[in-house]
Every structure is written in structure tokens, then in C-alpha cells.
A and B are shown apart, each in its own frame.
Chain A
Amino acid sequence: MKTLWWTVLGVGLSGICLGAALGVGKDAANEQVIQVTAQRFTFTPNEIVVKKGRPVVLEFSSLDFVHGFNIPSLKLRADLPPGQITRVRFTPDRVGEHPFVCDNFCGEGHEDMHGRIVVKE
């Protein structure tokens, strides 16, 4: 399977550690790697619990459509083409909840395709 590495960096945002996003190798052992499946019209899981301060890698597999993954509060987004793994990295630095949504219109249930990231201590 072709693997595409994505590093999505926000600009001027809170909750994201730029150094951690670039220094992938350095913190690799400490990363929270979470596999997420995108399929019309759900993300599985759609509630993702992560620990504050630990780098996170979301590994997306889209099964049927170029879904979008958008967390507006973290200014992170990516397209999720089928047939490859799309990785989104960030380091949460604050406890809280961040809603995410599919932002590529994918059909009648598009409005239901959303979830949230819960950052805990």
C-alpha cells in the first residue's frame, strides 16, 4: 500500500507544538498513535481521547471517498484520499474538547460525519 506522510502544521495556533510536529523521530517512542477510519458517514472512532503534552499521530484510512478532516479550533485539516494512510500530527497542550468534521461534502449523511478530540491530563 502506498503510504503518504502528512505533517499538518497550524500557524499561530494554540494547542499545537510546532517543534514536536517537525521532530517526528525525537518523540516517536512517546507518540500516541491512533488509527481512524473514515467511511460515509462516520469516523471510527468518533471520540478520540488523548493525553495533554504527548505528541499525537492520527492515522486515517478512508474507505470510500476523499473525506476531509478539519479541527477548526486547532486550525488543522487534511484531505483523506482512499487507498493510503494520511497522518495528522499535533501535540495538545491544553485540556479540553475539540470538535472535528468532514468538510468535503460526501453525500446525504455528510452532516452527521463529525466527532471530537478529548484532551485529558
Chain B
Amino acid sequence: MMQRRDFLRLLGVGGGAVFASGLAGRALAEVGSNKKAGAYDDFYFVQLSDTHWGYKGPANPDAANTLKNAVAAVNALKTQPDFIVFTGDLTHTTDDAQERRRRLAEFRDIVSGLKVKNVRFMPGEHDASLDNGAAYRELFGETHYAFDHKGVHFIVLDNVSDPGARIGDAQLEWMKADLSRQKKNAPIVVLTHRPLFDLAPQWDWATRDGAKAIEILMPYANVTVFYGHIHQEHHHRTEHIAHHSAKSLVFPLPAPGSQEKRAPLPWDPAAPNKGLGFREVEAEVEELRYRITELPVSAG
């Protein structure tokens, strides 16, 4: 198991050589503060998102190299993560079904260069919405699934194979049944592409039936959601459920709802990776703590 001091050292070096901003927004998976909640160990995983392989445009003239640079940056981490997750928009959309498959296959070939072989994928709307996930499933398998890692239960939700951004009742029922096997205080992480809450529906930054998913998750005390789609770091809570979006690996987008158009931020040739990055997520077992509050002798 990785030692805490090693992890801190990692923070000081990490992927900063390529993506200096990539480590600034490291999010801690809030998996609870009581070991009794579940027998889990410290570990960390890496989240990469919105690589948009196949994109060609002024928002990133270097797009043909950015994904490869990200793979190199992850491989350069001194302590390798337990696993790596890509939260959708692996490829940039195309109307051409053959080209879609070619881009997905190229993406798969590039990320096969990651040292860590435990890699989890899910589609974004660019990968899956135009064919309801058909090409994605051919190359990567199911678009929603669950897995466990060191006592943490992970649920991958597909909110993109429906072009209307619905998870759908069948998948919601599946999630409900999956969760029914978990204790109410179990550490649960949801990985998905779009925000489950209405972050900026006027920019289509939402999941149409995301509220139903949140309602199903609500009885569980330790739930954290990691997602992509919005090409920037963002942190939000729906009651006790934390939602953390990740930066993109192609181009950054403006702050939610900050302007009329959700156009990419202009590319800066002096800082070509500005606003891009990836994230380390550490699941940390917190030790028992005592909070001490000193009180004066009240008068009278």
C-alpha cells in the first residue's frame, strides 16, 4: 500500500511537468470518517476526461499530441495509481460510423501505453449519442457497470447513450438493485460523464433524469460523484453527496452559464496546456480524531 508520505511527495512532482494545473484541483474522495463504515485501505486512482481524440480545430492545434502527453504524464507518476478512469468523450464526435470506430480504436491503442493496466472507461455523448453507444460497446464493452476496489463500491452510469441525456428507467432500476446490496454507510463512488444535477441546463450541462439517480443515492451516507463533460474543475453538493467535475484533455470551457455561448476558451500558444489536466483522487482512511473546544467559565 502506498505510504502517505510517498503520496505527498507525488503531489510535489506528479504530472506537473506536463500539466502544471493538473494537480491543483486534487479532490479527496470523501469516503467517510469512520473505519467501521467499511474495511477499506488507502489508495488512489487517476481520473482523465474529455480527451476528444480526433478533434481538429483552433481550440487546440496540438490535439494530436495532448492525449499522448497525458499518457506520458501518468506513466511518469512516481507512485502509480491503483487504477485509471476515463470519464467519457474519449473521442470527438463524427457522423461517419466508420470514422467513429477508427477514432475509438486509435484512442484505445494510445491509452494501451499506460503502465497501469486496470483502466476503466465510459462513453461521453461525443462517443455514443449518435448511435446509442453501438460503436462504443463494440470496442469497450458495457456502458454501465459496477466494480469494487479495496472496499469502495464504484458505479459507472451511462447518461449519454440516449442523445436526450437520460439515464433511463432500466438503468436506474439496475442501480437501485446494485445499491440494495450495499450498507447505507458503505463508501460509494459514482463515475459518469454529465453532471447528475442541473449545473447549467441552458448549456445542456445536466442529465434529464439525474434527479432520479440522486434520489436513489440519497439514502447512502458516503457517496461521491466524479464526472466530466464541462471541461473544468467544479465542485458541488446535493445535500451530503459531493460532485466533482474534471478538467478536459483537449480544451477548456467557460465557467457554467458565464456567457451566452459555451464556446471553448481561446488557445494560448504561450501556454498550450493551460486549463487542461487530469486528477488524482485519493481514498484516505481518516483516523479517529478528537475536536477540543475550550470554554470559559461563564459569568453568573
Residues of A within 8 A of B (CB): 66, 68, 70, 72-73, 79, 99-108, 110-112, 114, 116
Contacts and interface: CB of A to CB of B under 8 A. Distances in A.
A101 B165 CA distance: 13
Contact of A104 (B164, B260, B262, B263): B164
Contacts of A66: 163
B198 A105 contact: no
Interface stretch (B90-98, B102-110, B210-218, B274-282): B90-98
Given A70-B201, A72-B198, A101-B203, A107 B261 contact: no
Interface size class of B (residues with CB under 8 A): 20 to 34
Contact of B204 (A73, A101, A108, A116): A101
Pairs A-B, 8 closest by C-beta atoms:
A105-B129, A72-B201, A105-B125, A105-B163, A99-B202, A104-B163, A103-B204, A104-B164
Given A111-B262, A112-B261, A114-B261, A105 B202 contact: no
B128 to A, nearest CB: 9
B204 A102 contact: yes
B130 interface: yes
13 contacts: A68-B164, A73-B202, A101-B202, A103-B164, A103-B204, A105-B93, A108-B92, A108-B93, A110-B93, A110-B125, A111-B204, A111-B263, A114-B203
Contacts, number: 56
B202 A72 contact: yes
Interface of B: 92-95, 125, 129-130, 160, 163-165, 198, 201-204, 206, 208, 260-263
A82 B93 CA distance: 22
Q: Say whether chain A's binding surface is mostly helix, strand, loop, or mixed.
A: mixed
A102 B201 CA distance: 10
Contacts of B130: 105, 107
Contacts of A116: 260
A106 B125 CA distance: 10
Contacts of B129: 105
Contacts of B198: 72
A102 B130 CA distance: 14
Contacts of A68: 164
A72 B94 CA distance: 28
Nearest to B264: A111
B288 to A, nearest CB: 45
A112 B93 CA distance: 14
B100 to A, nearest CB: 11
B108 to A, nearest CB: 21
Contacts of B95: 107-108
Given A68-B164, A70-B201, A103 B208 contact: yes
Contacts of A73: 202
Contacts of B260: 99, 114, 116
Nearest to A112: B261
Given A103-B206, A106-B163, 15 more contacts: A66-B163, A70-B201, A70-B202, A72-B198, A72-B201, A79-B164, A100-B202, A103-B165, A103-B201, A107-B93, A111-B204, A111-B263, A114-B202, A114-B203, A116-B260
B94 A108 contact: yes
A70 to B, nearest CB: 7
Contacts of B92: 108
B163 to A, nearest CB: 4
Interface centre among B164, B202, B261 (most CB of A within 10 A): B202
A106 B131 CA distance: 11
B285 to A, nearest CB: 40
